[in-house]
Amino acid sequence: MSPSPARVGLFVTCLVDLMRPAVGFAAVKLLEDAGCAVSVPLAQTCCGQPAFNSGDNADAAALARQVIDAFVDYDYVVAPSGSCCGTIKVHYPELFADDPEMLERARDMAARTYELTTFLNDIIKAAPVEGRFERVATYHDSCSGLRELGIKTQPRALLAGIAGLEIREMHTAETCCGFGGLFCVKYPGISEKMVDVKADDIIATGAEVLLGGDMGCLMNMAGRLQRRGVAIEVRHVAEVLAGTTDTAASIGEAQK
């Protein structure tokens, strides 16, 4: 008898749900192609990251309770976002440090939660993704994914299986793009300077496509590139890996 497929609950994330559903569909395709049984719990909500980053721990904890309840029955929780995963894996246990019962549940969920490329490459060790994307691309490492979760080699290892794709690294791949959630709202002048430095480096690579794993960063950089009149395509890594780039326009462009 073959083993039962891993039961994966997809944590869609707010930005994917509201701004870029194509990334969610691409994530489902990748997980199902890897042999997982994927569900998208309807009861899921925001992970609570904006509230937590604002110091509103009461509202963050209320949202965290809903998320923990929604995903209690899954072997794994997977999200196409390093920042939301970082909130669940790193900050949920902090939120419930004084509540032993919820702390245990938060730790349990944190242990089952993974960012998409980490889950595919490191956890279930999915077969190499086969596809074709004949473009030159550069990759942005988001702060939460890189610094909280150690996501660096995983997306690049998966992209190595895509025929025709050349990754041309920028000097500031690990440097913040200036988004930072509420940072860009509180400090727009500093944020704009930071994303301009990033845009300069992206342009200097000669890449046709900018890739990354967090929608907030990608929307921030796409917006700045557009305001500067630079025609560089911006996409979430899941879209290229799933071979679904023909289903949605570049991030920030009018959808097809």
- What is the chain's mean pLDDT, rounded? 95
pLDDT of residue 90: 96
The whole-angstrom separation of Cα 118 and Cα 81 is 10
DSSP 247: G
Q: With contact defined as beta carbons under 8 Å apart, do 82 and 91 qualify?
A: no
The whole-angstrom separation of Cα 40 and Cα 49 is 20
The whole-angstrom separation of Cα 95 and Cα 8 is 24
| pLDDT band at residue 9 using 50, 70 and 90 as cut-offs | very high
> Does residue 255 surpass a pLDDT of 80?
no
Question: How many degrees, rounded to 5, is the angle at CA 147 between CA 240 and CA 158?
Answer: 25
The whole-angstrom separation of Cα 116 and Cα 138 is 19
How many whole angstroms from its chain centre is CA 139? 13
DSSP 25: H
Residues with Cβ within 8 Å of 239's Cβ and at least 6 positions away in sequence, in order, are: 22, 23, 26, 245, 248
What are the backbone angles phi and psi of residue 207, rounded to the nearest 5°? -70, 145
Give this prediction's pTM.
0.94
Lowest mean pLDDT among 36-45, 179-188, 193-202: 179-188
> Does residue 2 surpass a pLDDT of 70?
no
> Does residue 55 surpass a pLDDT of 70?
yes
Q: What tokens appear for 128 in the block?
A: 């190499």
> Does residue 256 surpass a pLDDT of 70?
no
pLDDT of residue 4: 86
